[in-house]
A and B are shown apart, each in its own frame.
Chain A
Amino acid sequence: MNKNNVWIANVAAPVMIMVLLLFAGSRNVKAADQPAAANAEVKIDNFVFGPQTISVPAFKSKVRDTDEKFSYKFDKAGTYSYFCSVHPKMTGKVVVQ
């Protein structure tokens, strides 16, 4: 299998502006207050880890205007969910094999 673990994603912003937030892991937890990028914290309460799932941004692009591009090099396998932080309903996924 001639598969590179490295994959370069080239995302073009078609019609609208985008700020991409890429999260490692499957689904973003819709918890009340998500910890900020740098220091995410998991606490233990009553023998339970909380929050159960945390998502930490792999990166955050600068704002992209129409036709502007953003590139990111993935060097670890996994599924990466991303969304446009200006239009949160715009979501997508990159699966690195």
Chain B
Amino acid sequence: MPDKKQDLIDQNLQDLDDDGVDRRGFLKCMAWAGTGLVWTMSGGIPVSRAFAKNNDKNGNKNAGKGADFTFVQISDSHIGFNKPANPDVTATLQTAINKINAMPHKPDFIIHTGDLSQLSKPSEFDTLDQVLKGASAKQIYFVPGEHDMLSDNGEQFLQRYGKGTKGSGWYSFDQKGVHFVGLVNVANLKAGGMGSLGHEQLEWLEDDLRGRSASTPVVLFAHIPLWTVYPEWGWGTDDSEQALSYVKRFGSVTVLNGHIHQIMQKVEGKVSFHTAMSTAFPQPAPGTAPSAGPMKVPAEQLQQVLGITDVNYLVSGRSLAVVDSPLGAGTPATANAGSTGVM
């Protein structure tokens, strides 16, 4: 099995089109990602090893080493939630942080894609801060979820995590040539609607991206998915199409979202969409329950349906490898990495 995988990976590395994008390998990898979900984590992150320049086929010690930087996405910590689906979300967040700290390569920063708290209470944000203080990565970027907007339209959130941001909390930053944009699609939610970015933010985004070279990898992150996952449950963003039209010209675009508490991925041209697991509780797959909401699973399975996302970026290949891994190990052995995708 490892050999077969290595073949796939080697093919990926060699098959670049003129614009540096390995589309065939892309698709192969995405097909693999579908079955990748069945595999459980067993130490290390083999796929990132494949993207390392100095490939050591024996051990995992080079995992992430060849990457120019790595970061981790966590999401939906819902601090303050205490119902049966998970009576102790602080503990599972701590497990996620411990897992990040135990990674062989220390991530440069963490991105939290929202729903930090359950009810926007100061005590909940305080608890979150306490846990995050213990993370090895000191730089943490946030965008709010709808659960963080419940006191004075998000004032609490902005005061604590919104320094230097505009409007309801949007901003951008650069890291080793990659352009990151934090978007807010949970302000002013309308009855019966999905997420929305709003005119002002869209104008800002267009302006922010203007003039940047198309070879700049772009990462957009926001709480609610920026593509329509399941409109019946509000899992989408009404005006995301306009935002996506602004990034169409870029060679590599990665969209990281949360909100749905499960992994979903989609590739559309040069744009790859990815939603992360929650560190608090899972939600049902679209249409498999009367409504969205906390889903109770047997206690011993909880750690497997919660997780973090590790992203490795290679400057030379201009590619980002996104690797999801559950908090718990589940059944040992043959396995490797949760679901993976090459961007």
Contacts and interface: CB of A to CB of B under 8 A. Distances in A.
Interface of A: 15-17, 19, 21, 23, 28, 30, 32-34, 63, 65-66, 81-83, 85-89, 91
B191 A28 contact: yes
A87 B150 contact: no
Contacts, number: 53
Contacts of A66: 83
Given A15-B293, A33-B198, A63-B119, A88 B188 contact: no
B137 to A, nearest CB: 30
30 contacts: A15-B293, A17-B118, A21-B191, A23-B191, A28-B190, A28-B191, A28-B192, A30-B190, A30-B192, A32-B199, A33-B198, A33-B199, A34-B188, A34-B190, A63-B119, A63-B150, A65-B119, A66-B83, A82-B191, A83-B191, A85-B146, A85-B189, A87-B234, A88-B192, A88-B194, A88-B234, A89-B192, A89-B232, A89-B233, A91-B191
Q: How large is the interface on B (under 10, 10 to 19, 20 to 34, 35 or more residues)?
A: 20 to 34
B273 to A, nearest CB: 21
B283 interface: no
Contact of A16 (B190, B200, B293): B293
Interface string B99-127: 00000000000000000001110000000
A71 B258 CA distance: 33
Interface of B: 83, 118-120, 146-147, 150-151, 188-194, 198-200, 232-234, 238-239, 292-293
A59 B225 CA distance: 29
Given A82-B191, A85-B189, 17 more contacts: A17-B118, A17-B119, A21-B191, A28-B190, A28-B192, A30-B238, A32-B199, A32-B239, A33-B198, A33-B200, A34-B188, A34-B190, A63-B119, A63-B120, A83-B191, A83-B192, A88-B190
Nearest to A85: B189
Contacts of A17: 118-119
Contacts of B198: 32-33
Contacts of B233: 89
Q: Which of A65, A81, A82, A86 has the most CB of B within 10 A?
A: A86
A86 B193 contact: no
B119 A89 contact: no
A34 B192 CA distance: 14
